[in-house]
């Protein structure tokens, strides 16, 4: 497992390339290291939404807002 920054970067690269399953794996690994980062929850939510897993995505968006109600990156 790499640093959170490395995991997020890899996840973002896979997300941008449309490889949502791999992106999700990296974001989930990052969340194992820090579950209190609203940006990580937002990345996971965006990825789940891209996979058509809307209910799970909504839960992650809500978690992001719960941690930081003013999270400007939440989609």
Asked whether residue 74 is domain-assigned, the answer is no
pLDDT band at 70 (very low <50, low <70, confident <90, very high): confident
Asked if residue 60 lies in contact with residue 50, where contact means CB atoms within 8 angstroms, the answer is no
Asked whether residue 17 is domain-assigned, the answer is yes
On the question of pLDDT at 74 being above 60, the answer is no
Contacts of 42 (CB under 8 A, 6+ apart): 60, 61, 64, 71, 73, 74, 75
CA 28, CA 35: separation in Å to the nearest integer? 10
Overall number of domains in the chain: 1
Asked whether residue 75 is domain-assigned, the answer is no
- Model confidence pTM above 0.75: yes
Range of the structural domain that residue 31 is part of? 4-67
Asked whether residue 50 is domain-assigned, the answer is yes
pLDDT digits (tens, 9 = 90+) for 5-57: 999 999 999 999 999 999 999 999 999 999 999 999 999 999 999 999 999 99
Strand intervals (E) in the chain: none
Neighbour tally for 29: CB within 10 Å: 18
pLDDT digits (tens, 9 = 90+) for 43-55: 999 999 999 999 9
Asked whether residue 72 is domain-assigned, the answer is no
State the CATH number of the domain containing residue 13: 1.25.40.10
């Amino acid at each position: 497992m790499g640093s959170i920054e490395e995991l997020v970067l890899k996840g973002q690269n896979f997300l941008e390339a449309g490889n949502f399953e791999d992106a999700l794996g990296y974001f989930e690994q990052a969340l194992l290291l820090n579950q209190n980062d609203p940006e990580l929850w937002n990345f996971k939510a965006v990825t789940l939404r891209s996979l058509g897993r809307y209910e799970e995505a909504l839960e992650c968006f809500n978690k992001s807002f719960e941690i930081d109600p003013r999270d400007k990156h939440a989609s």
